[in-house]
Structure 1
Amino acid sequence: MLLSGPYGIAVLPVLLWIIIGFGFRFGKLPMLLSTMTSHLGVTSSFLIVPWWFQHPSAVAAVYLSLIFIPLYTIMFIRRHSKQIKINQSLAKQANQTEERIRASLYTDLHDRVMTPLLGVRHNSYLIEQCTRTIDLLDPDSNGDKVSDVSKYARENLLTLKQMQDALTRTTRRFWSDEMEMLGLSAAVSEYTDSLKSETTGINFSVNIDASTDSLTKDLAVFIYRIITQTIHERLGIARNYHIDVRVDKSNSMVIVVIGDDGEDVAVGFGNDAITSIDYLRERVDAMGGSLVLLKGEEAGIRIEINLPLK
């Protein structure tokens, strides 16, 4: 045998350093394992042939193993600790990134949905004022010649209506996204809270049945659009009023009630509003439901929409 005589004792340190060399080649962990294996092999040899222990080369091999094992163990522990710190740092960065994304999504949602909605409401008021100005200056109503003021008002009215259409298209594009992110009840509350905080003289009462959480996504989005568009029409027509929004499920139907007490203000729908309500009625009819518009002298406007549950 190669390692069974005195010549084999001299080969042990050579084999030991070959194994250690492979450890340097492949990394700290293989180096640690190879050193421990070498030390185990040398110890086993001493147990088999005790007189090897008296040979200087064997003693040197044992000392080398005893020196390198703690060294490589320390190096391995330090490397492992460093990797733990790196993982903790990456986890912290991931949490910060998630928080920034959430904040960015909320800001983007508010800027792209709520701000255009307020712009639509403001433009509705300007359109109403321009229409009244044109009626006062129209020759059909007072027989006078159309003045430059009337011409200017008509141009402004056209521009405002174009802006109104563009803003309405923009808001409709993001309504479903907001619904998907927040849910029906939270989305309506977010919508009314934003209008309440940025508009004076308006009070909203929102009561949405918790059972509506089980509605299908398409039906919930449609109900949200009905609520927001109807409230938008109310904002463009009257001032200083209270709006009640109620959504519940009854007899396999979804009932949406939007009432306006009017606060002694005679509330009516303008031409643009009638068009929008007719559009809503067509969509409700297409879903097999019904839309009822109730109008009273002091009770303001009450819209009842019944949608079948599919």
Structure 2
Amino acid sequence: MTQSPWERWTWVVAGVWLVFLTYPVVETFQADLSAVARAATLATLAAFAGVYLLGFAVWRRHALPVWCALVALGLATAPAIGIEAVGLTPYLGAFSALMVPAPWWRWTTAISAVLPLVSLIGGGFPAFFFLMVWPIIGFCTAIRVFAELDVRAARTRAELALTAERERVARDVHDVLGHSLTALAIKAELASRLVDLDPARARAELDSIQETARQALAEIRATVGGLRAAGLEDELRSVPGLLADAGIDTRVRGEVADTDPRHRALLAWVLRESVTNVLRHARASHVTVELSSTGLAVTDDGTGLSGAHAEGNGLRGMRERVSAAGGTLLLAHGEPTGTRVEVRLP
């Protein structure tokens, strides 16, 4: 996995702060220590700096043990430099807030922030130290909190995108299968009636069934792959024939050129689903398709709307598509009978 620039170079940023180790180093030289004790203390401070840098650069996955090692090394300097060892706490707090994994980082950061209070026991620790150490720890804590919120937001966005994709596939599969299976059912019924009356016509309908099935399979594959784009011209060409097979006369008012090019794919989906609903439920004799610059309307003279019929997946899918495009889907009674489905787009 490719590391981000922060992950690659964070040890450099951390290393800049090591300049403040000058103070415990100076205190080590000024303290009344034997040569062995002084060397041991300097070695401990060098180990502290090394572990601190390696924790950022190499041992990122072992951040909690690294923090514990830093605490132990810091305490090991206390016999030599006394209360001045508290000067190492900013490193503990910064490393804890930035590197220690959840949920431990909250506890280790709190401990790192409380440790400087030990300096009050001595009574001579400079007050400005607290004005430095707590803002550093607080700043690093804020970075960690915002980073976790960003990760959580990214995870939420990914989940929403996955949900939206599932809904898209569900809508598209419903539209494709609903339309194609309805067409297949009508053509099969027509072919069965024509077998004895007109064998040649029946054979043509069977060939059409095979072609429709192949087309439906291709559309399902394209839908799952997210590649399918409905064409308004293709739908307008296929609708009269499909409705004619069911004994329904079709009238088209307007042309594709009258519609907004931005919305033609959406209008194709609406036209397909509206015609599928007519074939399934309307028992109509005539259907009128109206095209305009503001959208599309499909009107039939069938049985009309019934309060007993709840809005199904097809209408719900149409409404969601139209709303996503900033439009409105209107469902009304036809004149004098039937149903009118109208889409108005900006």
Settle same-fold status: TM greater than 0.5. Answer: no
Question: Larger strand proportion, structure 1 or 2?
Answer: 1
State the TM-score, normalized to the length of structure 1.
0.38
Larger Cα Rg: Structure 1 or Structure 2? 1
Kindly indicate whether structure 1 or structure 2 has the higher relative contact order, using CA contacts under 8 Å at least 6 residues apart. 1
State the TM-score, normalized to the length of structure 2.
0.34
